Homo-oligomer: A and B are copies of this chain.
Amino acid sequence: MRYLVEANASGHEVSYGDDTWTQRVCDGIRQLFDTDCEVFFVFNGTAANSLALASLSQSYHSVICHELAHVETDECGGPEFFSNGAKLLTARGRDNNGKLTPEAVEAVINRRSDIHFPKPKVVTLTQATEVGTVYTVDEIKAISAVAKRRNLRVHMDGARFANAVATLGCHPGDVTWRAGVDVLCFGGTKNGLPVGEAVVFFNRALAEDFAYRVKQAGQLASKMRFISAPWLGMLENDTWLRHARHANDMAQLLAARIRDVPGVSIMFETQANGVFAELPAFVIEALRARGWRFYTFIGAGGCRFMCAWDTRVETVERLAADIRELSAQAAVA
């Protein structure tokens, strides 16, 4: 918050992204990725993903994604809207820890090759995935290789990119442009910022006129410094990575605490900041009665516990204790 108040106090800056705060944060992101990428800011993740995908495809193209991808399940058709009709083609299968595979992507590409069906043009990866798992650098390279061979572009939904980098311990460039990613949507809000996601074009040719697209889409902040200034604070001293590491650690702690609780079954490997577990229906209900808030999403039983940059150890311990206590009650009943 400190940076935001400072920006507010610094007088009437030139608006619409030409201010010095925005220049500094763009330069910061270029340094972070160690490449001369093009950087744009939009208000949220739906806009970031939708505008990026629209810049990679036309209305008669298709975008290959995992069936659990946020672009498919939680953006209310935003990608279809901004691209004026591009179709999302989902690769099925919740195996492989919620990650696409080169084979799955190629199978979708091969389904059709006639003009009566949209032509595949983009593959989108979610890093970390919606089920809290993380693509390795090699996994991304393998998918990019298929994409390049078949003339598709590679988009990365990085709403939780920070958590993935924290897990992998690699350079941010290694898991993006050096692995063949054309465009990254780099999440700010899931990392502590009030609003604002960065759209990072490593393939600069694809960024042509993107500023116009942002403006037309109602995603250009007139008081841009309110978005860029907090980003500066986040980049400074690797705060983004520290935040992400903390959230990941809290997820590890939670997973460790509940892994051996009878009746609890962890559904996916805990590789980022979320724990996905099946709990008895009684436990779910009772946890909610105690005030815990979480999504249940894959049929009955699947609970999503997300840890944030500011989740405290005590909170995790209390949640784990509640799960343990309520599960014991459920076992008796």
**Residues of A participating in the B interface, judged by any CB pair closer than 8 Å:** 1, 4-5, 8, 12, 14, 16, 42-48, 50-51, 58-62, 73-78, 80-87, 115-119, 189, 194-195, 209, 211-223, 226-227, 293, 308
10 more contacts with CB within 8 A, not counting A46-B218, A61-B209, A194-B226, are A1-B5, A1-B8, A8-B194, A60-B212, A60-B216, A75-B218, A80-B80, A82-B218, A84-B85, A217-B218
Alpha-carbon gap, A302 to B161, bound state (A): 44
Alpha-carbon gap, A47 to B115, bound state (A): 15
Give every chain B residue within 8 A of A60 (Cβ-Cβ): 76-77, 81, 209, 212-213, 215-216
A212/B118 in contact, CB under 8 A: yes
A77/B81 in contact, CB under 8 A: no
Query: Which of B1, B45, B118, B189 touches A76 (beta carbons < 8 Å)?
Result: B118
Q: Whole-angstrom distance from the CB of A64 to the nearest CB of chain B? A: 14
Give every chain B residue within 8 A of A115 (Cβ-Cβ): 16, 76, 211-212, 214-215, 220
Q: Whole-angstrom distance from the CB of A160 to the nearest CB of chain B? A: 13
Integer count of this chain's copies in the complex: 4
User: In the complex, which residue of chain B has the Cβ closest to the Cβ of A59?
Assistant: B81
Alpha-carbon gap, A264 to B82, bound state (A): 47
Main secondary structure of the interface of A (DSSP, over half): loop
User: In the complex, which residue of chain B has the Cβ closest to the Cβ of A211?
Assistant: B115
Alpha-carbon gap, A45 to B115, bound state (A): 15
Q: Whole-angstrom distance from the CB of A94 to the nearest CB of chain B? A: 16
Q: Whole-angstrom distance from the CB of A105 to the nearest CB of chain B? A: 19
Q: Whole-angstrom distance from the CB of A218 to the nearest CB of chain B? A: 3
Alpha-carbon gap, A211 to B85, bound state (A): 16
Give every chain B residue within 8 A of A14 (Cβ-Cβ): 293
A12/B308 in contact, CB under 8 A: yes
Q: Whole-angstrom distance from the CB of A149 to the nearest CB of chain B? A: 18
A80/B76 in contact, CB under 8 A: no
Give every chain B residue within 8 A of A78 (Cβ-Cβ): 215-218
User: In the complex, which residue of chain B has the Cβ closest to the Cβ of A46?
Assistant: B218
User: In the complex, which residue of chain B has the Cβ closest to the Cβ of A197?
Assistant: B218
Q: Whole-angstrom distance from the CB of A126 to the nearest CB of chain B? A: 15
Which of A59, A189, A213, A223 is the most central at the interface, judged by chain B CB atoms within 10 Å of its CB?
Answer: A59
Give every chain B residue within 8 A of A77 (Cβ-Cβ): 59-60, 62, 85-87, 118, 216
Query: Which of B1, B73, B87 touches A80 (beta carbons < 8 Å)?
Result: B87
Known: A215-B46, A222-B189, A293-B14. A117 touches B85 (CB 8 A): no
Alpha-carbon gap, A8 to B80, bound state (A): 33
User: In the complex, which residue of chain B has the Cβ closest to the Cβ of A11?
Assistant: B310
Known: A78-B217, A84-B59, A85-B216. A223 touches B195 (CB 8 A): yes
